[in-house]
Amino acid sequence: AQSVSQHNHHVILSEAASLELGCNYSYGGTVNLFWYVQYPGQHLQLLLKYFSGDPLVKGIKGFEAEFIKSKFSFNLRKPSVQWSDTAEYFCALYNTDKLIFGTGTRLQVFP
Amino acid sequence: DTGVSQDPRHKITKRGQNVTFRCDPISEHNRLYWYRQTLGQGPEFLTYFQNEAQLEKSRLLSDRFSAERPKGSFSTLEIQRTEQGDSAMYLCAGSGANYGYTFGSGTRLTVV
């Protein structure tokens, strides 16, 4: 069965630090991958998505993700985080007409 | 405002009672999804509709859960004989072309 794993459950960083959140998926076919963010008390919002083409995908708010097929990974990165990036981040795989989410990574950024 | 409205935002109910949630998607959303999210977990798929047809139900959706989307517009999710394990955030999402999902703010259910 298809699945998404996020091994970093809780990440704590200081402002200006670099960020990389891991995401691995389990699926042998063509993948469509997403990163969503959920700010405290708010709804899920799309950060970026990968369908095909350039494996380095740029999203909103300075985030990017790299699709590495050989590693079944789609890690999220940001070179310099801000306090306002404090949120929960979810990686998701689109398959059989629905999104399958990972368990999420809680990011706390301290000034 | 995401454009996908969910009502109510919060619901506290006693165990054994029935509850119903409503989701109003954007008119362009021919697909409508229900997810459940518990603390520390990602959203889990429950069911989805293509227009008014319910095309898939997760095994998570026990017989106590039922969803409808009459006329392919708004949708309701009913939970009968609620249990404490039903306490969660229930999310609705609409989708149109290009896999674009728009999530609502959710209904937080607490069963006491």
What pLDDT, in 10s, does the model give residues A60-72? 999 999 999 999 9
**Nearest Cβ partner of B106 from A43, A90, A100?**
A43
Could you give the count of Cα atoms lying within 13 Å of A24 in the half-sphere of its Cβ?
Answer: 7
Contact across the interface for B91 and A44, Cβ inside 8 Å: yes
What pLDDT, in 10s, does the model give residues A19-56? 999 999 998 788 899 999 999 888 999 999 999 899 99
Contact across the interface for B45 and A103, Cβ inside 8 Å: no
In angstroms, the CA B102 to CA B29 distance is 9
Backbone Cα Rg of chain B: 13
Residue A98: burial class (beta carbons within 10 Å; 0-12, 13-18, 19+): buried
Q: Is omega for the bond preceding A55 within 30 degrees of 0, making it cis?
A: no
Q: Which two structure tokens, joined as six digits, stand for A99?
A: 């999104």
- pLDDT confidence of residue B99: 64
Chain A interface, Cβ < 8 Å to B: 4, 6, 9, 32, 42-46, 49, 51, 90, 92, 94, 96-104
**Residue B1 pLDDT level (bands cut at 50, 70, 90):** low
The pLDDT of residue B29 is above 90: no
Torsion of CA A93, B59, B30, B2, to 10 degrees: -70
Closest residue in A to B94 (Cα–Cα): A98
